[in-house]
Amino acid sequence: MTAQASGGAAPHRPLVVLSDPSIHPDAVALLARDCTLRILDAYSPEDVFAQAASGASAILARLGTVTRRVIQAAPGLRIVARHGVGVDAVDLAAATAQGVVVTSTGSANAAAVAEYTFALLLALARKLPQADHAMRGGAWSREPLVGLELEGRVLGILGLGAIGERVARQALGFGMRVQAWRSGRAQRQVAGVAMVELPDLLATSDVLTLHLRLSAETAGCLDAAAIAALKPGALLVNTARGELVDEPALIRALAAGRLGGAALDTFAEEPLPGDSPLRRMHNVLLSPHVAGQTEAAVRRVGLAAAQAVLDELSGRRPANVHNAAAYAVRRERGLFAAPLIAG
C-alpha cells in the first residue's frame, strides 16, 4: 500500500483517509489539527483503498471510487466526504446500510466549471487547438481555421442547476439563444432561457452542453437514439459526467461527420484509456476532468469537504448530506453516539 501519514499517530486521533494527494494544502492542514491522515496515490486500486480504509473514521474522496468493499472494510467509518458536486463515485446504498453519511461540496466549484465549459466551447467552435498546433509546426494556414460564430446560435442545456444557470448567462452575453430541457420536476426559471421538451432541445440546438448529475435516472440519457436526434453538425460539450453519454455511439457520430465536434472533460472510464478512438479524432477537444480546477475553487472545495469531515466527527450534521437515511440506521443500531473530536 502506497500511503503517507501526517498529523501524528496518537490512538485517540481519528483516522481520515484522503483518496489522493491533490487535496488543497489548506484543507489538509485543517484536518491535520485533530486527525491522523492517510493519503493515498491517485486512483489507488480497490484492494489498496480498502486496506487503507481499515480503521478509518472518515474518507475524503476526490479521485477514485469508494466501493462497497472499501466501505465495509471500515466498520468505524462515519462519513465519506466527496470533494466535488456528485456522489456517483460512492456506493450510496452500501454507505447508508452501514450508517455512513455521504456528503458533497454543493456548488463550491460551479463558477469554475461554468467558465471552463465556455472555454471549451469557444476553443472548439473557433478551432483554437488546430491553430496553435499548426503555428507551432511552422505553418501559416488560415483557410482551414474558419470557425463557428456563436452569436445567434442556439445553446441547449441539459441540467439547469448552479452550473447550467451560469453557462446560460454566459451564452446570453455572447448573443446566443438559450434553451433548456423542461423536465417533469420543478426547476428554476432563468431569465432569457426558454424551457422546451427534450426532442425539441436535441433537434434545434446548435450546441448541446451537459450539466446533469449522474444518477440511475440520468445515466446514458444521451444514448444512441438521442445522439441521432441531435441537429446535424451540432457541437457537444460535456463537463458533467462521461457516463451520461453513450460513448461508442458518440464516436460513431463524430467519425461519420454527423456531429460537428465534441469538447469532453469527462469520460465513461477515467483516466481515459490510451487507445481510446477519441484521442485520434480531429473534431474532438479533450481535457482530463479539470473543469473545476482553479486555485480558488480547489481551495474552496477542499475546505468544504474537510469541514464536512470535522463537523461529522465533532457530532454536528455536515452540509450537503445525500443519504439522510444513514442517521436512522445509526439510531436503530446505536452507532456513533459520541463525537470523536472536540467541537
Q: Which residues are catalytic?
A: 241, 270, 289
Which of 282, 287, 278 has the alpha carbon at shortest distance from 117? Answer: 287
Q: What are phi and psi of 253, to 5 degrees?
A: -65, -35
CA distances 140 to 126, 136, 264, Å, are 16, 10, 27
Cell numbers at residue 89, please?
Answer: 463515485
Cell numbers at residue 99, please?
Answer: 450508517
Yes or no: say if 288 and 271 are a contact pair by the CB < 8 Å rule.
Answer: yes
Which of 176, 178, 121 has the alpha carbon at shortest distance from 153? Answer: 176
Yes or no: say if 201 and 223 are a contact pair by the CB < 8 Å rule.
Answer: no
CA distance 102 to 325: 10
Sequential DSSP letters for 233-283: T-EEEE-S-GGGB-HHHHHHHHHTTSSSEEEES--SSSSPPTT-GGGG-TT
Q: Which distant-in-sequence residues (6+ apart) come within 8 Å of 160 by Cβ?
A: 168, 180, 181, 187, 188, 190, 193, 211
Terminal-to-terminal C-alpha distance of the chain = 32
What secondary structure letter does DSSP report for 89?
Answer: T
Which of 207, 227, 228 has the alpha carbon at shortest distance from 126? Answer: 207
In one letter, which amino acid is 51? Q
CA distance 251 to 181: 24
Q: Is the peptide bond before 271 cis (omega within 30 degrees of 0)?
A: yes
